Chains A and B, each alone.
Chain A
Amino acid sequence: MKEHVYDTTYLRTRDFEEGKVLFETWDPNAKYTWDAGIAIGKFFQELKAGRLIGTQCLNCQRIMVPPRMFCEHCFLPADAWVPVEDTGTVVTFSLCYVTWDMNRLEEPQIPAVVAIDGASPGMGILHLLGEVDPKAVTIGMSVKAVWKPAEERTGSITDIRYFKPLGGF
């Protein structure tokens, strides 16, 4: 099948250093403002007040976090707002040593999926872990939200700085 492969031109670093190839660049100027919507709008208001909230579908009984306006399984409107805890369980985590553009981090970021207490089993959100030795993090660990002070909250997922181990370290 070798004859069915086109001999594409591979650019190497020296081709640029020697000015052999020409190119054009563009820096997009695109900014977006997203209306938070019905469900996440309320979620953000509650975050600003230092609380987590979900919605419940009374058809399948699921308590969903982040809240939705509708249950995607039953395709029916969510019936009720349900306060949930700001504690949970680490479902999975990573120790990330690079930034998105592949620069090295000395101290790892610790992203995790945290299943929120008071929501249906396995109902997790993506967040970060903090105040913890990276080597001590385990799946199944109980964690609690560390909130920004009330005056610094803006109604954002980052109103929770991170989750820390419930037992403390």
Chain B
Amino acid sequence: MSRDRVAVVGAGMTKFVRRAQETGKELAWEAASKALESCEMTLDDIDAVIIGSAPEAFDGVHMKSEYLSDGCGGWGKPVIRGYVGGGTGVFSPIQGWYHIASGLFDTVLVICEEKMSSCQPHPQGAFLTIFDNFTERPLQPNLLWIFALEMNAYMTRYGLDKRDIATVSVKNKRNAADHPAALLGDANITVDDVLNSEVLAWPVQRLDVSPVTDGAVALVMCAEHVARRVTNKPVWVEGVGWNLDTAYWSSRDLSYPVYVEEAARMAYKMAGITEPRKQIHIAEPYDPFDYKELHHLEGLMLFDKGEAPRAAADGVTQRDGDLPVCPSGGLLGVGNPIAAAGMMKVAELFWQLRGEAGARQVPGTPKRGLAQAWGDLMQVGTVIILGA
């Protein structure tokens, strides 16, 4: 099967803030206009629009992509919204890729927007609908439960030290201190700060968790013949993969995200990657909780099972380490406006691979990066590999 080569040529985003004055539609426009401006394109140059955003329940607005569409530049154009939970932020650029790789469109604007602050008293109220409506919701579950249950299963299986896991939160919040859009950058945070923070749902503590956030991110993607005209620094989509595990999450092995492995295998195969530990130079795995970054690094086969926490504590995943992980600052540092958070990672790869990441730039002219997101009922993995 021959496919058109697809490049990312522009990226823009809003600041990630706890509560924005802007509506979701306005946030979408802010990010979209920044992305178009970054590659000196206008909406007239765009063939199709892709929108990624969490369910209607978050916003209390029905048919949310139709609601958002004007702010996303969707007027009078083919528009589609994809949604795979927290995996959406990486799935949306995957949709952008196949819109173009199929030959159907030359240029696509991809916008991921989230305004979590509207849902009161806490957006968790909307999240709770992910639990099974017969066998789980009557128990009045709390969203933190599933993370705590998974973290405990992971820690117990491999005898992990919580101190090692906490180094992820420290690294990401410190990295985020150099991100101009970050909500929770903190250059001085320590492991003890994390370990001494309030216990929410043991083993999960306050500083293990990413914050509720408002924000939007946009990318411009196009076919090779357009990309060559628009920029001399196109960033190519080399591989994509996604995979969904069963919703019967309580009968899965929670210590290992096999669906992330399947998504990674799909992406590695497409990218011709046979030794990911050598061939991936930057990783932006999904880190809504510190242990998730490690869990995902193992699922991505970038570390052996149970080995990522020690490697993180040894500095391997620092910005200047052997495998820089979340040089952006991740969800833990930049913030977690669900779909936008995932695509912030793809935007980070774009900037890193073009050498435009400023104070966050990883040394050594990285050539290839991987971004991964995760979500639904702990069951979806989405992976994209970009190359300079």
Contact = CB atoms under 8 A, between A and B. Distances in A.
Q: Do A and B come from one complex?
A: yes
Interface of A: 1-11, 15, 21, 25-26, 28, 32, 34, 36-37, 40, 43-44, 64-66, 68, 72, 91-102, 108-109, 111-113, 122-128, 139, 156-158
Interface of A is mostly: mixed
Interface string B27-63: 1001101110110000000000000000000001000
Contacts of A6: 12-15, 30-31, 33-34
A139 B156 contact: yes
Nearest to B140: A100
Contacts of B196: none
B230 interface: no
Contacts of B215: 8
A93 B17 contact: no
A4 B9 CA distance: 13
B199 A97 contact: yes
Contacts of A2: 180, 358
Interface of B is mostly: mixed
B28 to A, nearest CB: 11
Contact of B30 (A8, A28, A98): A8
B153 A9 contact: no
B34 A127 contact: no
B20 interface: yes
Contact of A4 (B13, B20, B143): B13
B30 A72 contact: no
Given A5-B180, A92-B149, A94-B203, A66 B135 contact: yes
B250 interface: yes
Given A11-B17, A72-B248, 19 more contacts: A1-B180, A2-B180, A2-B358, A5-B181, A6-B30, A8-B17, A10-B20, A11-B21, A37-B134, A43-B135, A66-B134, A72-B246, A94-B149, A94-B201, A96-B148, A97-B201, A125-B135, A126-B145, A139-B153
A77 to B, nearest CB: 17
A32 B138 CA distance: 13
A53 to B, nearest CB: 13
Contacts, number: 175
Contact of B21 (A9, A32, A158): A9
A18 B54 CA distance: 31
Contacts of A34: 133-134
Given A92-B152, A95-B202, A96-B145, A40 B180 contact: no
A92 B135 contact: no
9 contacts: A4-B13, A21-B21, A25-B120, A95-B202, A97-B201, A101-B122, A111-B141, A111-B149, A123-B251
A35 to B, nearest CB: 10
A92 B27 CA distance: 40
Interface of B: 11-15, 17-22, 27, 30-31, 33-35, 37-38, 60, 120-122, 124-125, 128, 131, 133-136, 138-145, 148-150, 152-153, 156, 180-181, 199-204, 214-215, 246, 248, 250-254, 351, 356-358
Contact of A126 (B121, B141, B199, B252): B141
A81 B34 CA distance: 58
Given A10-B20, A92-B153, A157-B139, A100 B248 contact: no
Contacts of B181: 5
A11 B20 contact: yes
Contacts of A127: 139
Contacts of B201: 94-98
Contacts of B38: 3-4
B214 to A, nearest CB: 8
A10 B18 contact: yes
B250 A124 contact: yes
7 tightest A-B contacts by CB?
A94-B148, A6-B30, A9-B21, A96-B201, A92-B153, A8-B15, A95-B202
B12 A4 contact: yes
A126 B136 contact: yes
A5 B14 CA distance: 5
Contacts of A100: 122, 124-125, 128, 140-143
Contact of A96 (B14, B144, B250): B144
Nearest to A34: B133
A94 B251 CA distance: 17
A64 to B, nearest CB: 8
A64 B131 CA distance: 18
Contacts of A99: 142
Nearest to A44: B134
Contacts of B12: 4-6
B135 A157 contact: yes
Nearest to A120: B251
Contact of B357 (A1, A64, A68, A96): A1
